Structure 1
Amino acid sequence: MDEIKNNQSRALELLAPAGSFEAFKAAVENGADAVYLGGKSFNARASAANFDIEELQKAVRYAHERQAKVYVTVNILIADQEFQELLNYLYTLYEIGVDAVILQDVGVAELIHMILPEMETHASTQMTVNTSWGVQHLESLGFNRVVLARETSAAEMKAIAEQTPLDLEVFVHGALCIGYSGQCLMSSFIGGRSGNRGTCAQPCRMTYQLVNERKENLLIQKSTGEHLLSPRDLNLAEELTVLKQVGVHSLKVEGRMKRPEYVATVIRLYRQAIDRIGVVDRQEGSAAAPLLTPGEHQELLQVFNRDFTSGYFKENLGAELMSYSRPNNRGTRLGRVTRLEAGRLSLKLEAALHPGDGIEFWTGRGREGVTVGLIWKDQIVITEGLPGETVQIEFSGVAQPGDRVFKTNDALLMEKARQSFQEGREQRKSPLALRLSGHEGEKIVFRGHR
């Protein structure tokens, strides 16, 4: 029971995604306590760049030198004919020194506990575990940690944590699935690409219509959008204190398919939020004190969003869970078109604009995106357009006064992210404790350890 109670007092772990070595460095250098990644086989993100054995060795060495951990995803269902290859792979992972493997297949878990009992195993969210009975069963199978299904509420997390000594890990940021974690067969049925084999085609991001028996579109008058199965992105940045209180240990960010700049930005901001929990707790009247500033929340929005949601954390949000109008990055509101004349488009800005920014026009005819080149104000080239100003940019497309404009890529934010993991500029260091001893007439002895 003491072991269960200690779950609530442990430091939170920030767990970052990495689909490439560059994204891996971005995660570590921006404060991740651990990184999860996949090899070239047996992982649920087959379309990511992923890591060969040499890269895995390099990643483990890089992380351990900086006191970070590496968890390797072996989170697909395995066919009988693949077990010999899997065995060789597992032995290699063990020899490399990975800190844990993340599993979906209970047969693989049993195999590991028989042949490599020292290897730490984590139960993937693909196992769809969201009850204390499920977690206790996985405990009996030898698992060290359970990644709870995304559909688990805070109240359910608390009830589970009170019944198990196992580490609990939950997703706090990133893409959501419309189906139950690990139970969606839609991609497999539609296109023969199984999510349980790492090749999900994301059919939930496609367009659909809700029709009656006469094939009449029942939503045509509601203008809700056509992406009827596309959820918003999860964002629990302001719920981290609650997650700690209910007994969650590891905070997982989704995104092995995302670019390194995304990983750098999201991990940096969540690291800041976690580090502020203790400070906020000690402040008077801190119950409603935010962990991130408005500007930092804006960076989370800017780097990628389909609109944000708290998912199932508090309750079933119904339609508020969904992003009906579009399945990809919305960006942030930039302003409106005021005039198009002689190859120059005038914009009334609601946010800052810089050369290199990506912007998108939302019109009655669809959407059109461009990268900003030169910016003018009063016929003078400027390097920054400020909120409230009217500026002009080069534009050869079609736009009308009143069209909304969104910023989908912030050049300065991307550069800030790249600087954090640029080769030769790594900043994360490991603490080194030194002990100096000696006597008169003898050599001084240094002893150090990390």
Structure 2
Amino acid sequence: MTDPELLSPAGNWDCARAAVAAGADAIFFGLPAFNARLRADNFTEDDLPELMEFLHQHGVKGFVTMNTLIFTSELEAAEAQLRLVAEAGVDALIIQDLGLAKMAREIAPNVELHASTQMTITSPEGLAFVESLFPMERAVLARELSIKEITKITTSPETVTPIEVFVHGALCVAYSGQCLTSESLGQRSANRGECAQACRMPYEILVDGEVQDLGEHRYLLSPQDLAAVDLIPELIQAGVKSFKIEGRLKTPEYVAAVTRVYRKAIDACLSSSISPPPSPITHADRYALEMTFSRGLTTGWLAGTDHPYLTHGRFGKKRGPLLGTITEAQNGWIRLDVPPSEQNPPLKAGDGIVFDAGENRDLEQGARIWKVENDRIIFHRTFSGINFDRIRPGITLYKTSDPALESEIRKFWQNAKLTPKKSPLHLTVAGAPGKPLILRSGESQVTSEQALQEASKHPLNTETLTKQLSRLGDTPYELASLDNQLVGDCHFPLSALNQLRRDLIEKLGPLTSVGAATGATTISYQDLLPKRESSSSLPPQLSILCRSLDQVSAALTCGASIIYCDFEDPRRFKEAVSLVREGTAKIHLATPRILKPGETGYLKLIERAEPDGLLLRNLASLNYYKHRSDLAKTGDFSLNVANPITAALLKDQAALDLLTVSYDLNIGQVLDLLDHAPPEWFEISLHQHMPMFHMEHCVFCTFLSEGTTYKDCGRPCEKHVVHLRDRVGQLHRLQADVGCRNTLFNGRAQTGARFYESLREKGLSRFRIELLDEDSATAIRTIEAYQKLLAERCFPSELLAEVEAIEKLGVTEGTLRSGSL
């Protein structure tokens, strides 16, 4: 790649046309299966050939999103879709699942492979590990990285893959690929394209058991939207090769408005000789970005950490620009105190507004303006539906829609003359009197039947040849260069020359792509499956994950043989190792879920504690430890092992002893996985509090301090026990890790006790309990209950009753329960 690419979203044909009209270099879109925006319109398989032809005619590339986890039973269908994509001339696949990426590389090698942001690539080491699995043409980084951190990745000696980043659109509060909230609460996995947007809901915060009054700040997990248009020069300087706009659920007006603003910014930067270049972005451009969709526009994490700036908590829905504060309200009209500015949003009849009274957002009022008279904004008393008894001075007003702007953008993309992009044609003309005339382009050439004649006057010259051979009309070509290699003064009938031109164009054939080669190999997904040889079932073994030294002591009291430690402060790992060394148990230390550039020091800290093994939670740690054969290594749930191809790839390339089954699998899918891969490869969490949100956003800093980062927040996470209460009244524990990243754990523990016998029948022998905030006595009771189950001293129903009594917030079968058992 040379110039940076502008990549726009398209959920349907109108969005695709809008993106092309506005200057996108490429679009990304989904098919009905295996894409992370199943609620979008999406294109059908029948659309694909026509869509790719349309895009390629206009010099635009098309990328298909297959950015979900793939279950074992879906591998055959995924293979069929890969073949369809290859034959249709798709330029690239955007993929999350490592096993699917391996399939794509083997089955459709001529289609570019782009690592989705769902792969959670956050460091040079993580990217290097994926690069070691298969070559890629693009890696989309996590959205939580700053420009400084992105630069460390692009300039790392290990990095060979071009980098793509999101520059505009909605931000997920959790790391993409690491959000289990929708799955945990409602079996609608974000890793499967079914996100329920729980981050956009209101929450209460409880500090040490007491509700904290935050006033109108209820949307504690809802970030504002990303708008990095002013950072384009810095991102180009950082080595970013593709700029991605989020929005496959958005309208074609959104796609057109945002694409043309970023096209303008990129072109201005590339054409400027000044560094930094002057910004070409006008107030009208910014207004268009804000009006087409925004919850408030920020630079996200790109400019660095500022937690309150990103997530202020006041609303979670679209807002648009602030108009002002009500100074007077009567029945049917209001007056505003408008902030002094030359760039205030225009206000006219028909515009949509919302009254922000700091109330429940489901109850807030909105309407369209009837008319504007002098300084009064007037609403229709009957049809506006506004209860003016609730409208009072002090309420703020936001503009939510501008029909005139929407109409202008709609006309722009609908009326745009989309001229097919012609391919440059480089021609060579050769021959001499008495010999045929040869017309050549690349490897294709045509030869005249009649010979060239000696010219008595007006010999063929470059000017005449150019004039005749550039008459390419409606063909997909335009003459780019002509190499005249005629020897001597040659005469040739112009009609014959024109026919020769037509013959060559026919031989060249139609353009099918702007760079993609088509075709799939004969390799099948079955060729990539691991061998599953029958073996005798191993006795069951229970491991305990502890998050405090008291829990470690409790596990030792119960005679645990394997203990995983996951402490907020890894400096205490050494103490835990010393404690376990007093007995016969083995201790494995957990890495953080996320490692950013420069954070491998945490891994060195773990090494210095001298554990028996490791619980590896991210791609960077797999890369760091892959040559350590002296340590037992378990890949955790966050690696998203959902099918046997992913399992085989990770086990082999990272030299893992065990893999934790993905939390996205229900019991039927777990059993299916065990049927297609050796069960001795796997461990399953039989009891745990599902880690729902894992986020760079720090709730402690934002809502329990006056600071903006860990440097000035005062560390309230170390002083208080904090829960968030959702709309149905369920409490969820919030914890911070060593990197100040927050995890919100489901308040109800998930248990798979009812499925234990079925798992044993498949040969699974490794089971895990994950403790959260249990005290020593509760931890012992929980551990002993599961020990009895594994020792066949109680029935699952008895354990369920006992664990239900132990867990103060109750238990659920959670993500496992949607199976067929």
TM-score, normalised by the number of residues in structure 1: 0.87
Aligned twin of 1:151: 144
In the TM superposition, residue 437 of structure 1 has moved relative to its aligned partner by 3.9
Aligned twin of 1:296: 285
Q: How does 1:323-338 map to 2 (within 5 A)?
A: 323-337=312-326
Aligned twin of 1:166: 161
1:331·1:406 contact (CA, 8 Å) conserved in 2?
yes
Residue 402 of structure 2, aligned match among 399, 410, 417: 410
Give the secondary structure class of the aligned counterpart of 1:370. strand
Give the secondary structure class of the aligned counterpart of 1:262. helix
* 1: CA distance, partners of 2:177 / 2:10: 20
Residue 316 of structure 1, aligned match among 305, 320, 336: 305
Aligned twin of 2:430: none
State the AA in 2 paired with 1:154: I
In the TM superposition, residue 118 of structure 1 has moved relative to its aligned partner by 1.6
Cα gap change, 1:237 to 1:190, in 2 (>3 Å) = same
* 1: CA distance, partners of 2:105 / 2:308: 43
CA distances 1:79-105 after superposition (whole Å, capped 9, x unpaired): 111111111111111111110111111
1:235·1:309 contact (CA, 8 Å) conserved in 2?
yes
State the AA in 2 paired with 1:151: E
Cα gap change, 1:213 to 1:269, in 2 (>3 Å) = same
Greater shift in the superposed pair: 152-161 or 405-414: 152-161
CA distances 1:280-304 after superposition (whole Å, capped 9, x unpaired): x424xx5373241233122212222
State the AA in 1 paired with 2:371: I
CA distances 1:190-239 after superposition (whole Å, capped 9, x unpaired): 1111111110101111111110343x222x1x435101011111111111
Cα gap change, 1:244 to 1:210, in 2 (>3 Å) = same
In the TM superposition, residue 265 of structure 1 has moved relative to its aligned partner by 0.7
Aligned twin of 1:370: 367
CA distances 1:350-380 after superposition (whole Å, capped 9, x unpaired): 53223332111223656211123x42526xx
2:334·2:376 contact (CA, 8 Å) conserved in 1?
no
1:29·1:428 contact (CA, 8 Å) conserved in 2?
no
1:225 corresponds to 2:214: no
Residue 6 of structure 2, aligned match among 7, 11, 14: 14
State the AA in 1 paired with 2:93: V
CA distances 1:308-334 after superposition (whole Å, capped 9, x unpaired): 222222322122220401111111122
* 2: CA distance, partners of 1:428 / 1:359: 39
Residue 185 of structure 1, aligned match among 168, 172, 180: 180
State the AA in 1 paired with 2:366: G
* 1: CA distance, partners of 2:207 / 2:225: 30
Give the secondary structure class of the aligned counterpart of 1:71. strand
State the AA in 2 paired with 1:400: R
In the TM superposition, residue 41 of structure 1 has moved relative to its aligned partner by 0.5
Cα gap change, 1:234 to 1:58, in 2 (>3 Å) = same
Give the secondary structure class of the aligned counterpart of 1:48. coil
Aligned twin of 1:430: 421
1:287 corresponds to 2:276: yes
* 2: CA distance, partners of 1:308 / 1:255: 14
State the AA in 1 paired with 2:396: R
CA distances 1:42-81 after superposition (whole Å, capped 9, x unpaired): 1011111111012222221111110000000001110111
State the AA in 1 paired with 2:183: S
Give the secondary structure class of the aligned counterpart of 1:255. coil
* 1: CA distance, partners of 2:493 / 2:50: 44
Cα gap change, 1:261 to 1:34, in 2 (>3 Å) = same
Residue 356 of structure 1, aligned match among 350, 353, 356: 350
In the TM superposition, residue 400 of structure 1 has moved relative to its aligned partner by 2.7
1:145·1:169 contact (CA, 8 Å) conserved in 2?
yes
In the TM superposition, residue 414 of structure 1 has moved relative to its aligned partner by 0.7
* 1: CA distance, partners of 2:105 / 2:129: 15
Aligned twin of 1:246: 238
Cα gap change, 1:400 to 1:428, in 2 (>3 Å) = farther
Cα gap change, 1:377 to 1:316, in 2 (>3 Å) = closer
State the AA in 1 paired with 2:99: G
CA distances 1:414-449 after superposition (whole Å, capped 9, x unpaired): 112211222x64445424657544755332535779
* 1: CA distance, partners of 2:177 / 2:419: 35
Q: Gaps (5+ residues) in structure 1? A: 1-6, 379-388
1:354·1:411 contact (CA, 8 Å) conserved in 2?
no
Aligned twin of 1:441: 493
Give the secondary structure class of the aligned counterpart of 2:379. strand
Aligned twin of 2:170: 175
1:77 corresponds to 2:77: no
Aligned twin of 2:229: 237
* 2: CA distance, partners of 1:369 / 1:177: 26
Greater shift in the superposed pair: 390-399 or 189-198: 390-399
CA distances 1:114-148 after superposition (whole Å, capped 9, x unpaired): 22222211100000011112222222312211001
* 1: CA distance, partners of 2:359 / 2:37: 35
* 2: CA distance, partners of 1:288 / 1:325: 35
Aligned twin of 1:392: 378
1:205 corresponds to 2:221: no
State the AA in 2 paired with 1:273: A
CA-atom RMSD in angstroms: 2.4
Residue 111 of structure 1, aligned match among 94, 103, 118: 103
2:253·2:409 contact (CA, 8 Å) conserved in 1?
yes
2:21·2:416 contact (CA, 8 Å) conserved in 1?
no
* 1: CA distance, partners of 2:186 / 2:22: 38
State the AA in 2 paired with 1:108: L
In the TM superposition, residue 341 of structure 1 has moved relative to its aligned partner by 4.9
* 2: CA distance, partners of 1:87 / 1:184: 26
1:173·1:236 contact (CA, 8 Å) conserved in 2?
yes
* 2: CA distance, partners of 1:270 / 1:211: 42
* 1: CA distance, partners of 2:199 / 2:232: 28
Task: State the aligned residue count.
Answer: 424
In the TM superposition, residue 39 of structure 1 has moved relative to its aligned partner by 0.1
CA distances 1:25-45 after superposition (whole Å, capped 9, x unpaired): 111111110000000001011
In the TM superposition, residue 180 of structure 1 has moved relative to its aligned partner by 1.5
Cα gap change, 1:336 to 1:212, in 2 (>3 Å) = closer
State the AA in 1 paired with 2:179: C
Cα gap change, 1:150 to 1:393, in 2 (>3 Å) = same
1:307·1:323 contact (CA, 8 Å) conserved in 2?
no
* 2: CA distance, partners of 1:155 / 1:343: 52
* 1: CA distance, partners of 2:136 / 2:293: 34
In the TM superposition, residue 152 of structure 1 has moved relative to its aligned partner by 2.0
* 2: CA distance, partners of 1:208 / 1:199: 21
Q: How does 1:116-127 map to 2 (within 5 A)?
A: 116-127=108-119
* 1: CA distance, partners of 2:359 / 2:190: 34
Give the secondary structure class of the aligned counterpart of 2:206. coil
2:57·2:422 contact (CA, 8 Å) conserved in 1?
no
* 2: CA distance, partners of 1:43 / 1:436: 50
In the TM superposition, residue 15 of structure 1 has moved relative to its aligned partner by 0.4
State the AA in 1 paired with 2:308: A
* 2: CA distance, partners of 1:155 / 1:341: 52
CA distances 1:392-412 after superposition (whole Å, capped 9, x unpaired): 332452223443221101112
Cα gap change, 1:272 to 1:339, in 2 (>3 Å) = same
Give the secondary structure class of the aligned counterpart of 1:334. strand
State the AA in 2 paired with 1:196: N
State the AA in 2 paired with 1:369: G
Aligned twin of 1:196: 191
Aligned twin of 1:420: 412
